[in-house]
A and B are shown apart, each in its own frame.
Chain A
């Protein structure tokens, strides 16, 4: 017995190792297959859950057509897709430096919201007093400063006292939401808590297209963040702190300074996203102005493995899914929750696919095989 120690070790059902040798085209194919498989499953689910399709499976074609129509039906809709994609991309870019540093900032929702609040507060109070370019500039600055402060507070506590940034940034979201309610009560004296669309402080349309300013500004930001993360000393420091705080300390990086500086940047960029939503799209603020994009952006950023270029693709995927699902809700007159199920299901497949692309499962070989191996 003693000379066969392997028999005493209980082998688990499966174990996981990291993949190193998977080719690029295989990765692309696997992802495409995952998305197609998810769509097939969505269709099967639709047959079960949407009565009009269940009765007449021929309508399934219409189901998929609607899913695509949600993003591509008319040229105006395509512009809106690009605009929504830009906003989601902008927030994703904003949170990326902090995440790369392994600072779990789940407070983008609040940081963007205070940005919108600051910008629209300025538009509400000073619209018509300053000229439009001056007003827009003040809105931009206040949004960026507000977002930066909202990001700085948890970073400061983390750097100095080691507080948990996840809980801290989460709680800051609630404060931001109630801050908006508070100011709406203060400003909107009829008690409705609804700020009407502001007539001042809108980003000017470019060539008659009101969506273009948001799209162009985000495109520029994407390039800047790409350069910052990959080719600047700051970007390098962020990577090192993210990989190992001790290594960073050893090579003389001031970790506290990097944490605070990066969160300041992250918050400021969230504030900038708030400016885009406020001045570029809604021209108003409400407690739900961000609508969960601050959380969706975390997934967009992760799925893209913190690469700004891939983030364009992942945010496009998310916007495509959301708009397609909304179109299904409208055309088939089903509950909005069903649409959320389709979006969730597809993302589950995509995320699952990423897991299997990164890791490999090794199942325990059956006992007979084991014996043969021993022999």
Chain B
């Protein structure tokens, strides 16, 4: 019996080794290749959003499986340098990494391989490093948040008109990840969108200290609801906050994709960044041998900032039309999200925001270096693609300041 099993296993092993010798791991063609480095895999909504983006771009541009190499679960460490070097060795012409902390591990590989283009989402160092083959990208997601905020403000007006406010003034709750510019810019634009249609709205923000923690996000949302919030939104990657809202019957503005299926009675609308336009752009530029922008900011115009369909069962009457009108005004350049000219719209400790030095150029001490308020608005994502709006404005109360 034992001998039979042994001979069977050995025979199988021999067949296997023969197969290995005959097979080759990648079909060797000298065609274009793109390498993608992801922090996690499809189990994270953040990385899934990038994964969907590259798959869309791949399908639209007709790339084969062999032309797109994806490395998943690459931490923000030397592992990112290793992965990038392996992608260079595999013949990739463009290499993309999706997480903020990948940047300083990608830069050395970019320096050593001037013939390969390196693109990094959410990063801040391309415009100061001065490398011709290193690029940053982000999207004006604050515009999407503002539009989603309009839907929130209109819902609050409806609740107020029905006399069902929990407190004196309409109160929104926001579950944030970290007290980082990306999150501050996000919740402030959301708040301003709501304020544009519901002038007396106020907001409470609770931080979780993690980009993905379902339990923490859920309990933060529950705490905000208990503290008298009439509506909740969030900037974190799990289903925690939407689930808490559905359980409590509190309307929710979501992020990173629709939560309609799980929360049919409370989901209003969701904004997200669609990365497919950027992937198509870098692939096309590289194939044509043309330069890629040092800082690329995707907009509503490029199709990078998108909103899901409005859930009309929950949203207030006229929401769709109001969002369309605001979108048109943004495209025409007449509506600026961080509008500092309109009296009383953005105030800091009661005073207007006439001037602000933002930390645009990254240095060791994160010193503010660039004047970003002019022409009557805060110029977000113009001096570099990643957000730098980190002002704490009136009307928004931070319940905690996260520290992980």
**Chain A residues within 8 Å of B, Cβ to Cβ:** 33, 36-37, 39-40, 43, 52, 58-62, 64-66, 68-69, 73-74, 76-77, 80, 178, 181-182, 184-185, 188-194, 196-197, 281-284, 286-289, 291, 326, 329-331, 333, 335-337
Contacts and interface: CB of A to CB of B under 8 A. Distances in A.
Contacts of A197: 104-105, 108
A80 B82 contact: yes
B24 interface: yes
Contacts of B366: 188-190
Nearest 10 A-B pairs (CB), nearest first?
A181-B404, A61-B19, A61-B23, A191-B180, A197-B104, A194-B101, A336-B41, A185-B403, A196-B104, A282-B77
B111 to A, nearest CB: 13
B336 interface: no
Contacts of B65: 52, 333
Contacts of A284: 76-77, 104
B208 to A, nearest CB: 12
B interface, size bucket? 35 or more
Contacts of A65: 20, 23-25
Nearest to B51: A333
Given A37-B9, A77-B86, A185-B404, A190 B359 contact: yes
Interface of B: 6, 9-10, 12-13, 16, 19-20, 22-26, 40-43, 65, 68-73, 75-78, 82, 85-86, 89, 100-101, 103-105, 108, 178-181, 209, 359, 362, 365-366, 390, 402-404
A39 B263 CA distance: 43
B70 A333 contact: yes
Contacts of B42: 335
B22 A61 contact: yes
B25 A40 contact: no
Given A60-B19, A190-B180, A331-B26, A282 B100 contact: no
A117 B362 CA distance: 23
B131 to A, nearest CB: 15
Contacts of A184: 404
Contacts of B75: 286, 288, 291
Interface of A is mostly: helix
Nearest to A340: B73
Nearest to A289: B77
A64 B16 CA distance: 8
A36 B25 contact: no
B72 A337 contact: no
A69 B69 CA distance: 15
